[in-house]
Structure 1
């Protein structure tokens, strides 16, 4: 074999080696891409299962809390005891009770049964405010669906309202009402509501007081140094209740107990609830990261309030 044949054979052998190497690399790359895809899908499935379990656990905990707050399971006992509770609250507030009459609600589901009463009572405005305070400060599952106030004299009102309360399916208690308190009220006591509401006539249009005259011998009036009353902050009632996968990214669910609809947030969205303002930095499997209006980066965990967020280093906004 001459030199020319040897060189030709070596070139052919090199081409065969290169072709075989390229074929082997393509096979390996295809296997690697498939393995990465399967692992990514498995991780996504695992995160979705974790989210579903977390949401289910939150719902189970909420259902347990509702069963604690429910009227007793025996419907006849529930109606009797709740009516007695209503009458006691009216009398304790110094209202004259005219009648507490059961009403048909027509509401029945697989989860609860509603009972309703129409209440008629008379009394002073401060007595009405004290009754409403005791009603909403109670942690029972009840609400006022309608209320009418009619002046009957310069110092007395007639109050007509309709209330509903729930018997949650699965409650084990056969008698006795829930005695815990609700945190839905912003002020600490009925006296504070009486002071703010009763000091003006709600049936007369508001007229601001005349401006104060400056003291004699001075050019400027004395400034009022009385601090303003604290503002109601709805962010105290806003909770991160869920994180779900939407396409290729996460969506955070924020439930504001004073709002009818929940917020659905993605990274980059603005968020404003009460005095809480900011922009969503990112949404993760178990938490929400927000940059507040003040420039702080905070992390809110599952089930936590917006106002309970933990401050992160400023570099966390870009991570």
Structure 2
């Protein structure tokens, strides 16, 4: 064996030793270290997911506790009767007439329990149909009272059919309410008020009823409504004399109003031979002897 061959063998041996050392380092040190890092990452993700699940569960429990405060009672028959009476009372508060409420059978909603694998009731659904008659202001008041109440309920559908030339409407509602099985009240409805509405005072919603969209002759009413005179009463208060389409005359002072077939007319101020009127939320100046239609077009 010559010197060159021995040198090649030595180099090959050195290369083999280096490769074996590198492979051993990877298998004995780098491999386990990488496995430990992967396992640590997996455990970290699992802990984070568990923490998120605990937070979500806590939040869900808090939300559920709040919903239970607004739920219908847990006894289905008592809940159905109590809510039906409440709807009728709401119609009376709104001063509507001809009220009738029909209630369907309570419908329990169940899910499969995670542990026992059995069906478990979580809430009961109640469906009602309500009919009543009133003007737009009374309908607005009913809806205002409905959405201010603290119950788990909603209006699924509503229809308004004008009667009497648009002075009144027949209101038909489909209402759905929910009673949670964990509610602690047996037959009493929730005493709490809700915060669903953007504005709290009912007066903020009267603009909905000021312009009667169901009236057949909205513009003709303004053309037949005239400020006939501006006078001062015996006690020194300025008054506006307003002739209405039905040939009646209303004598109004500041802040007073009159309701026509299609409009609500309120006296904002009474000046010398002219009156400031709020007609459906629009303030116009009407001179004595001028119709509201003329004042609206000129203004």
From the two aligned structures, give the one with the greater strand fraction: 2
Displacement after TM superposition at 1:140 (Å): 0.6
8 Å contact 1:91–1:97 — kept in the other structure? no
State TM-score, norm by structure 2. Answer: 0.59
Displacement after TM superposition at 1:60 (Å): 2.0
| Equivalent-residue separation in structure 1 for 2:106 and 2:98 (angstroms) | 22
Q: Which protein shows a greater Rg?
A: 2
Displacement after TM superposition at 1:141 (Å): 0.6
Aligned partner of 1:146 in structure 2 is 157
Aligned partner of 1:134 in structure 2 is 145
| Equivalent-residue separation in structure 1 for 2:109 and 2:19 (angstroms) | 74
1:196-239 CA-to-partner distances (Å, cap 9, x unmatched) read x112223379x9xxxxxxxxxxxxxxxxxxxxxxxxxxxxxxxx
8 Å contact 2:106–2:124 — kept in the other structure? no
State TM-score, norm by structure 1. Answer: 0.55
3-state SS in 2 of match to 1:198: helix
| Equivalent-residue separation in structure 2 for 1:50 and 1:76 (angstroms) | 41
From the two aligned structures, give the one with the greater helix fraction: 2
Displacement after TM superposition at 1:161 (Å): 1.2
| Equivalent-residue separation in structure 2 for 1:178 and 1:97 (angstroms) | 26
Aligned partner of 1:280 in structure 2 is none
| Equivalent-residue separation in structure 2 for 1:144 and 1:120 (angstroms) | 13
Structure 2 residues without counterparts, runs of 5 or longer: 1-6, 111-120, 219-299
Q: Does 1:182 align with 2:194?
A: yes
Aligned partner of 1:70 in structure 2 is 71
| Equivalent-residue separation in structure 1 for 2:168 and 2:125 (angstroms) | 32
In terms of mean alpha carbon deviation, does 182-191 or 13-22 score higher? Answer: 13-22
1:151-193 CA-to-partner distances (Å, cap 9, x unmatched) read 1123211112121212211222113211222232222232212
8 Å contact 1:90–1:97 — kept in the other structure? no
Matches within 5 A, 1:263-278: none
Q: Does 1:158 align with 2:159?
A: no
3-state SS in 2 of match to 1:130: helix
